[in-house]
Amino acid sequence: MQLPESITICEVGPRDGLQNEKHILSAQRKIELINDVVNAGVKVVEIGSFVSPKAVPQLADTDEVAKGIARRPEVEYRALISNLKGMERAIFAGITKVKLTVSASESHNKSNWNRSTTEVIRGFYDAMELAAKSGLEVSGAISTAFGCPFEGNIPRKQILDLVQTFISMGVTEISLSDTTGMAYPSQVYEVGKRARELFPSVRFWLHLHNTRGLAMANMLAGMQAGIVRFDASFSGLGGCPYAPGASGNVATEDVIHMCDLININTGINLDKMIEIAQEVRQDVRHETESFILKAGKSLVLSTRDLDKLKREV
């Protein structure tokens, strides 16, 4: 197998993970969680979003969270925004990196932002101008890149055109997001490979949901296409409030567990991440979709099984 030596994981739990949770966590608790994942070795964290507090009440306090976290110089703390207003709030909160998000699907933009794709993109230009003046780094995200619950398949050209649009605005770090878990491995491989061939200077991320159990397979397919940056969420939390049936980002601890087994360095301590994921499960007050939390690490089980076998012999 062609596997990378190392990958970068962005912990999106504080944003994509929590945004759909009914039980509202305090800003202080969110700050603790962000500091904890950084202490576990995470180098990129999505700390929240600067969008309408009415639309996403859980993240209404991102300003406060941004001001309260311990900032480590080697760690990237980014927030999701969708327009100029979000950019203004991010700057005011002292955030140095933002992620501008547009959906590849017209219907998803309508239901998510109440605007057409063209309108969403038009709004980016003012935001980009302000970012340039204020020295903010901007990345981009294309949601529903691998399928939309309203429109079905999204033609590859549509994705690549949006990548080109981002590049023309000066954005060279782009996340291809499987918002509703519709991606499948051969598609991720082909889109990823083509995107990297056409835009070799772009740093591509994959944002994968495990709605249909394919996130990990898609991640491996992405690695085969040369992609080495992946979003994941503690405890497998997540889901898009505007996409019917969408649930669960791939769990950070599940990803680290697999990477540890196949010798891909993530720089993140699995045991620490499992502890955080267990606490998060208590925070949100319901069972989550993390495999490792349910089953434990496979190597621990093998040792236990070996001992049992020895006793039986």
Instruction: Identify which of residues 181 and 192 has a Cβ nearer to Mg ion in the complex.
Output: 181
Provide the minimum distance between the beta carbon of 115 and Mg ion in the complex, in angstroms, as a whole number.
19
Nearer to Mg ion, 97 or 108 (CB): 108
Smallest separation, CB 243 to Mg ion (Å): 9
> Cβ of residue 74: shortest distance to Mg ion, in angstroms?
25
Scanning 16-24, 125-133, 161-169, 297-305 for contacts with Mg ion by CB under 5 A, the matching segment is 16-24
* List 10, 148, 240, 259, catalytic entry: 240
Considering only residues 277 to 306 of the shown chain, the ones binding Mg ion according to CB under 5 A are: none
Contact 12, 229 (CB under 8 A): no
CA distance 269 to 256: 8
> Closer to Mg ion at the Cβ: 16 or 289?
16
Nearer to Mg ion, 91 or 144 (CB): 144
3-state secondary structure of 176: strand
Is 148 a known active-site residue? no
> How does DSSP assign 73-115, residue by residue?
TTSEEEEEE-SHHHHHHHHHTT--EEEEEEESSHHHHHHHHSS
Contact with Mg ion (CB under 5 A) among 9, 13, 15, 16: 16
CA distances in angstroms from 44 to 73, 187, 267, listed in the order given: 11, 26, 11
d(CA 157, CA 162): 9
Q: How far is the CB of 193 from Mg ion (least distance, A)?
A: 23
All residues at 6 or more sequence positions from 311 whose CB lies less than 8 Å from its CB, including other chains = none
Select from 9-17, 53-61, 120-128, 293-301 the region that touches Mg ion (CB under 5 A). 9-17
Judge contact between 28 and 61, C-beta under 8 A.
no
Tell me which residues touch Mg ion (CB under 5 A): 16
Looking at the annotation, which residues are catalytic?
Answer: 240
